[in-house]
Amino acid sequence: MKNRYFFIPVIILLMSAAATFTAPAQVFDELRENMVRTQIKARGIDHAPTVEAMRNVERHLFVPTARRNRAYEDGPLPIGHGQTISQPFIVAYMTQLVNPGPGDKVLEIGTGSGYQAAVLAEIVDQVFTIEIVSELGESAARLLKELNYDNVEVKIADGYYGWEEHGPFDAIVVTAAAEYIPPPLVDQLKDGGKMVIPVGSPFMVQNLMLIEKNGDEITTRSIMPVTFVPFTRKE
């Protein structure tokens, strides 16, 4: 009986240590490179700036510490406040769809942990990103500043209205599912600009839509089924 009870706390301590263990930087580098090879390039992401950005941005820094060892898995992860950091492939795919390049100015709706903004900031000149959850927006702003993403500006606000004073934008990336495409965002697209946005009912499968603006002509195209957290509005 003594031996049986002696081992119980040892097992609990080992389980606790495994849950909080954080891999060394070199391991994260290897995991990130494997992510790029097996989740990004293998699935057809061939926009070179996007691939390089996915390789450069340290995704594990944008997830809660307790989940860092899962940062490069093929799926989304919770980041608190009912929000998630999107699956790496989806981040890369949405980035590729808007075809960002040097000199571009991009608006992101739904900062979350700041990961998508960092990926865009690796490619374009300016990123303006809006988050409605103040705790997330403030945390993302601090982290992006610590990582020297000086070309990213974070605003705590309702993303439905965009950021008119900094528009028009070459591209807009929306990382939450709206029931319809917000007209103010379409208005803030440049001529020739692109917007990617999941559209559909909350907590159901939505459609990832690509919107392109050419003069007075607005074209929309359904790309693929996706599942995103709902687009949150201020009451």
pLDDT digits (tens, 9 = 90+) for 37-73: 999 999 999 999 999 999 999 999 999 999 999 999 9
More confident residue, 121 or 12: 121
pLDDT at 109 over 90: yes
**Residue bearing tokens 């919770």:** 78
pTM for this one?
A: 0.88
Considering only 27-36, 88-97, 106-115, 222-231, which range has the smallest mean pLDDT?
222-231
Rounded CA-CA distance 131/117 in Å is 11
Please check the confidence at residue 4 and state whether its pLDDT lies above 70.
no
All structural domains of the chain, each given as residue ranges with its CATH number in brackets, are 76-226 (3.40.50.150)
**pLDDT (mean) for 202-208:** 88
Give the count of beta carbons closer than 10 Å to the beta carbon of residue 205: 12
Instruction: Establish whether 139 is a catalytic residue.
Output: no
Residue 136: Cβ-neighbour burial (10 angstroms; 0-12, 13-18, 19+): buried
Structure tokens at 200: 């559909």
Three-state SS annotation for the chain = CHHHHHHHHHHHHHHHHHHHCCCCHHHHHHHHHHHHHHHHHHHCCCCHHHHHHHHHCCHHHHCCHHHHHHCCCCCCEEEECCEEECCHHHHHHHHHHHCCCCCCEEEEECCCCCHHHHHHHCCCCEEEEEECCHHHHHHHHHHHHHCCCCCEEEEECCHHHCCHHHCCEEEEEECCEECCCCHHHHHCEEEEEEEEEEECCCCCCEEEEEEEEECCEEEEEEEEEECCCECCCCC
Q: Catalytic residue among 86, 113, 134, 201, which? A: 86
Q: How many CA atoms lie within 13 A of 139 on its CB side?
A: 17
Confidence of residue 133 (pLDDT cuts 50, 70, 90): very high
pLDDT band of residue 201 (cuts 50, 70, 90) is confident
pLDDT of residue 235: 65
Provide the pLDDT confidence category of residue 22 given band limits of 50, 70 and 90. Answer: low
